[in-house]
Amino acid sequence: MINILRLLSVSLLLIFGTVDAASLDQVAVDAFIGELATNDGFDRAELARTFKEAQRSERILKAMSRPAEKSKPWYEYQKHFLTDLRISGGIEFWNANVDTLGRATDVYGVPPEIIVAIIGVETSYGKITGGDRVIDALATLAFHYPQGNVKRMTFFREQLRQLFLMSREQHLDPLELTGSYAGAMGIPQFMPESYRKFAVDFNNDGARNIWQDRSDAIGSVANYLKSHGWNRGESIVLPASTTNSNADELLTDSVKPNRRISDFATHGVTTAALNSDELAALFTLEGQISLEYWLALNNFYAIMKYNPRTKYAMAVVKLAEAIRNARLAQQMS
Q: Which of 46, 58, 92, 122 is catalytic?
A: 122
Indicate left, alpha or beta for 275 from its phi (over 0: left) and psi (-120 to 50: alpha).
beta
Nearest CA-CA partner of 157 in 34, 255, 314: 34
Residue 122 among the catalytic residues: yes
Tell me the one-letter amino acid at 300. Answer: F
Rounded to whole angstroms, the Cα distance separating 68 from 62 reads 12
Write down the number of H helices and E strands in the chain. 16, 9
| Cβ neighbours around 14 below 10 Å, total | 9
Backbone angles phi, psi at 266, to 5 degrees: -70, -15
CA 256, 261, 265, 269 torsion-angle sign:
positive
* Cβ partners under 8 Å of residue 79, min gap 6: none
List C-alpha distances in Å: 71 to 62, 130, 137, 140, 292. 13, 21, 21, 22, 18
| 3-class secondary-structure state, position 151 | helix
Rounded to whole angstroms, the Cα distance separating 213 from 202 reads 9
Class of residue 175 by CB neighbours under 10 A (exposed 0-12, middle 13-18, buried 19+): middle
- Residues acting as catalytic residues: 122
